[in-house]
Amino acid sequence: MSKKADFVKFDKVDKSYDGKVLVVKDLNLDIEEGEFVTMLGPSGSGKTTCLMMLAGFETPTNGEIFLDNNPISNIPPHKRGIGMVFQNYALFPHMTVFENLAFPLKVRKMSQEDIEKKVDKALSMVSLGGFANRMPGQLSGGQQQRVAVARALVFDPAVVLMDEPLGALDKNLRESMQYEIKHIHESIGVTVVYVTHDQGEALTMSNRIAVFNDGKVQQLSSPDKLYEEPVNSFVAEFIGENNTFGGEVSEISNGTCKVKLEKGEIIANPISVKSVGEKTTVSIRPERALINPKDKMDNNQKGKIEEVIYHGDHTRVRLNLLGNSEFILKVPNSSQNLDIKLGNEINIGWNSHDARALDPK
């Protein structure tokens, strides 16, 4: 499939429900054809409102939304060619699986022959080939969600929107459905816009993630870049686990900065700071700090072990380090004896490029 820039485009979009408070503020967001983009953020951040505007259930207060270069704000939902998957499945309970999938095709006045072909294809895509005559009440939650996905895809939509579609499923089923939806997307190449507040889900499934907070996109990046290179404290805190230190910049030189803390000093990567005297929050991922590092590191500190929790593939260690009693390490479980015992004092090291000096919280 040839990539087409700006297949979905939000251009300076605002949304207010009461004429005073903007729940979406000056949104500019481009999605390429065939991309899987997730809108991620806490409740009330504006992500679902954006999805509803794209679907046509809400209208922008200002700005315009384009689909394949055509403005769509005045086009009714059923004429936008968009498939939709909801958290509650939204299947018709009195119709069979076949009839549920045939419904959007009948609305489009397709022939019975075409309907049967398309329904068979969509059901095989979600591994439910033998389920056409079942009623929704005879299916498990996971099977119902598969039917909902198939119904969204059955009429070959330009875009599929998914609003917290796995929220009602248990953990194991949710994880298997994440991979299933990801594989369906990869095999058919449809453009997917997905909404969730679950960061793990977003990291697993997406080509790019738009992190929302307070009606604005804080960062739009690939999952690895979002995790490794957060641009501000909100993104660093919201995506994955994070250790933080509040301090003041005491020196900047050669692409690093020194940050003075209440109880010590850190050499960090100056992402959001420009000058000496600025307040900053330094962010360090738990897996980037090492116990007794073999190689020389920019930051070397001693910490006291306050808590040890075994997690199977790793051990979670909580330290008191540089005045932070909530400093977390994730130590892979191996035969290596690192002397991780409650009350022990241990040497910890990390490199400056892994300590990101961001905006103060």
Backbone phi, then psi, for 228, in 5-degree steps? -80, -30
Confidence at residue 1, expressed as pLDDT on a 0 to 100 scale? 39
pLDDT by 10s per residue, the chain, length 361? 344 457 999 999 999 999 899 999 999 999 999 999 999 999 999 999 999 999 999 999 999 999 999 999 999 998 899 999 988 778 899 999 999 999 999 988 999 999 999 999 999 989 899 999 999 999 988 899 899 999 999 998 989 999 998 887 888 888 988 999 999 999 999 999 999 999 999 999 999 999 999 999 999 999 999 999 999 999 999 998 999 999 999 999 989 999 999 999 999 999 999 999 999 999 999 999 999 888 889 999 999 999 999 888 888 999 999 999 999 999 888 756 567 889 999 999 999 999 999 999 8
Q: Tell me, what DSSP letter sits at residue 17? A: S
Q: Which residue segments constitute the domains of the chain, with CATH numbers given? A: 8-233 (3.40.50.300), 241-358 (2.40.50.140)
State pTM to two decimals: 0.90
Whole-number Å distance between alpha carbons of 49 and 337 = 51
Whole-number Å distance between alpha carbons of 334 and 249 = 38
Whole-number Å distance between alpha carbons of 182 and 316 = 30
Integer-rounded Cα Rg, in Å, for the chain is 24
Beta strands, E only, the chain: 8-16, 22-31, 36-40, 62-67, 70-71, 82-85, 159-163, 191-196, 208-213, 216-221, 243-253, 256-261, 264-270, 279-284, 290-291, 299-310, 314-321, 324-332, 345-350, 355-358
End-to-end CA distance of the chain: 43
Confidence at residue 292, expressed as pLDDT on a 0 to 100 scale? 87
Place of tokens 């408070």: 21
Confidence at residue 2, expressed as pLDDT on a 0 to 100 scale? 44
Per DSSP, the three-state class of 10 is: strand
Backbone phi, then psi, for 188, in 5-degree steps? -110, -15
